[in-house]
Structure 1
Amino acid sequence: MSFESLGLSNQLLFALRENQFSHPTPIQKLAMPDILAGKDVLGIAKTGSGKTMAYALPLLQRLEGIESENRHITALILVPTRELAAQVSEVFIPYSKALTKPLITMAVYGGASINPQMRKMNNVDILVATPGRLLELIEANAVHLKNVKALVLDEADKMLTKGFKKELDQILKLLPNRRQNLLFSATLSEDVDELQRVLLDDPVTASVEEKEEEISLIKQIGYRVTENKKGELLRHLMKEKEMTQVLIFCSSTYQVDHVNDKLKKNGIASKAIHSKKSQGARNSALSEFKSGELTALVSTDLLARGIDIEFLPFVVNYELPRSPKDFVHRIGRTGRAENPGEAITLISPEESHHWRVIQKKMKIKVWTEDLPEWNPK
C-alpha cells in the first residue's frame, strides 16, 4: 500500500516524496483514512511506529483553509513532556509548509520562560502543549480554545501515569462539544480505556500489535566488572572485536555524556543522544551513525525502540535498564533482517541480582564471565 491510496492531497504526497517517505507504516495505514473522514480514532501503537505522522498529515489536510481568529487555535495536541512537544511540532511544520495556505504550528511547555511563548501565540493554528503550561497560557488570556476543531492526546498512557488527569479534566471543560477527538497510546491500560470512553464518540480503533523482539540471531555475552573498570573494558572490547559500529546504552543522561566524552578523548568517533539534546542534534547524530561516520552512538533508552538499522553488528549495555522488556528492546537493535549481531553486557557487582532477573524473564541463560585479561592504558 502507498500513501497515494490513503486519500492525502497532492501537496502532502509531494512533501512525503521530498522527505523520502514512500510507504506508510501499519498505524498510518489504519488511522489516516478514518482521521481524514472526520472520525474519532483510538490509536494503539508503540513509540517509534510513525503515529505522529499518522495524525499530523490528515489533520493538516482537514484544517487547511479554516480561518482562525487571533489567539484562537483550531487544533490542540496534548503531550506529557517537553521533548515530545518539540518532536511533534517538528513533524507538523515541514508538511504544513507544503499546503497552499500553510498552518502555523507552535510547541509550548514548562521549564522555559512563558513570556516568549505568550508573545508568539498570535495567529497560531495548531498548538502542541503540555497540560500545565497550556493552563497557564489560558489563565493569562494568551490562548483560547472555543474554536478548536480537533483534539489529540498523544502518549495518553504516559500522560495519565505522570498525574495529568486533573489538568486534562480542566482542559476538556474549556473545549467546544463539537470537535474531532484522537487518542494515541502505546498501551490500552484501564485508565486509558476509561478516558477513551469519556472522550471519544463512536471511535474507530486502529491497533498495531507489538511483536516480540526476535533475539534468536543475537549472540549474547556478559562480563562481570567493577563500575570503575567499565570504561576501560568497553574500549578494550571495541578494539579487540574491531567494532566499526556500536550502539551503547546507559541508564542516565549523565552517564551517556560521561561515556561519550571518554570515547572521544580516546580518539573514537562518538556522539551522544538523550532527551536533553535538541531534536536536530539527535537527528544529526543518528544520521551520522547510520551512514558510518561515527563508530559509536551512546544513548539512553530513547533509542531502544526508535532506531532501525538492518546491519548493526554490536550493541553494548554499559548499564542495565530497569526492566527486562527494555533489555530485550535494547539488544533487539542488532540481529535484524536475518543478520547476526552481538550484544555485550557489562555487569557490576551491584547489578548482579538484576542481571539474574533479566535472564529469568528472557528465559535465556547468557554466558557471563569475569573481567578478561588485558593491558589497560
Structure 2
Amino acid sequence: MEGEMHNAEVQGPCNEHQTTTEEKIASQCEVGQQIYLRAEINQLHHQIVQSATERIIQFCSKVLQQLIDSDVVHCQVLFLASTSERVHQIKNVMQALGGGHGVKIHACVDGNSIEEDKHILSAGVHLVVGTPSRVSDLFRTQNQALHSDHVRMFVLDEPDEMLSKGFDRQIHDILPRLPGNVEVVALYPTMPEDALEIARKLMNKSVTMNLWQSIVFW
C-alpha cells in the first residue's frame, strides 16, 4: 500500500506554510503583551475563517461549473463533512451558487428524519452533502435510498477531522460503493504534513488502485 501512495496527486491552492496559532503565540508571548496578543489571536482566527470560507466558495464554484449536469437528476457529487454545521455551511454555499441554475442539493445529517432524506433523494438531486454516518446509513437502507451510479466526484472535507472523530469505518463502507472512475478529493484549509498517511488510513487496502491514482488534495 505504501508504494501506491506515490500515485496520489497534490494539487490546488494548499497552504504549505504550517505555522500554527500556538507557534505564533509562543513567538510573541512576553509579559505585558496580553492585550496585543489577544488582538493578534482574534485577527488570526478571523483570517483562518475568512480563508476557509473563500476556499470552499472557490471549490464549490469549480464543482458546479465543471461537473454538474443539470439534465441528469442523479447524485453526481458526494460531499462528506464531519459535522452537521459544516454540512449545512457547504450546502448553503452550493445553494447560493447553483440554486438559480436548477441544481438540486440535499444535506443529509444525523438527527434529521431518514425517511425525509429517502423521499428527497428518490425525487432526484444533483449533489449530496452529508455526515459520514448518515450517508453510510442511506446506502444501507432497505431499497438503498442513495445510489452512486452517476457519482463523478467524492469529496472529503478535512479528512483529518473525520479520522479524529472515528468516521473511518463509515468511509470504508462508502468507498467500495462508488464507481471505479470516481475522482476523490481531500479538501484541507491547510495541507498537513501527514496528508498521505491520513488518506491511507481512510481509504484502506480494499480501495482499488485507480482510486488511489485519482486522489487530489485541494
| TM, length-normalised to structure 1 | 0.39
Q: Give the unaligned 5+ runs of structure 1.
A: 1-38, 207-377
**Does 1:59 pair with 2:63?**
yes
Q: CA deviation at 1:145?
A: 1.2
Q: CA deviation at 1:180?
A: 2.0
Q: Is the 8 A contact 1:85 1:130 kept in 2?
A: yes
Q: Is the 8 A contact 2:183 2:214 kept in 1?
A: no
4+ aligned runs moved over 6 Å, structure 1 = none
Q: CA deviation at 1:203?
A: 5.7
Look up the SS of the partner of 1:106 in the other structure. Answer: strand
Task: Give the distance between the partners of 1:78 and 1:204, measured in 2 at CA.
Answer: 15
- Of Structure 1 and Structure 2, the greater strand share is in 1
**Does 1:133 pair with 2:145?**
no
Match of 2:213 in 1: 201
Q: Which one has the largest radius of gyration? A: 1
Q: Is the 8 A contact 2:107 2:130 kept in 1?
A: yes
Deviations 1:108-150 (A, max 9, x none): 1102221222211121110001011011111121111122001
Match of 2:177 in 1: 174
Match of 1:116 in 2: 116
Task: Give the distance between the partners of 2:84 and 2:78, measured in 1 at CA.
Answer: 15
- Higher relative CO (CA 8 A, sep ≥ 6), structure 1 or 2? 2
Q: What is the letter of the counterpart of residue 91 of structure 1?
A: V
Instruction: State how 1:293-372 maps to structure 2 within 5 Å.
Output: none
Q: Is the 8 A contact 1:78 1:152 kept in 2?
A: yes
Q: CA deviation at 1:51?
A: 2.0
Task: Give the distance between the partners of 1:87 and 1:200, measured in 2 at CA.
Answer: 28
- Of Structure 1 and Structure 2, the greater helix share is in 2
**Does 1:164 pair with 2:167?**
yes
What value does the CA root-mean-square deviation take over the aligned residues? 2.5
Task: Give the distance between the partners of 1:155 and 1:125, measured in 2 at CA.
Answer: 22
Task: Give the distance between the partners of 2:151 and 2:10, measured in 1 at CA.
Answer: 14
Q: What is the letter of the counterpart of residue 160 of structure 1?
A: L
Task: Give the distance between the partners of 1:144 and 1:65, measured in 2 at CA.
Answer: 16
Task: Give the distance between the partners of 2:178 and 2:196, measured in 1 at CA.
Answer: 21
Task: Give the distance between the partners of 2:170 and 2:197, measured in 1 at CA.
Answer: 16
Identity between Structure 1 and Structure 2 (%): 26
| TM, length-normalised to structure 2 | 0.66
Question: Which of 79, 82, 86 pairs up with 2:84?
Answer: 82
Q: CA deviation at 1:170?
A: 1.0
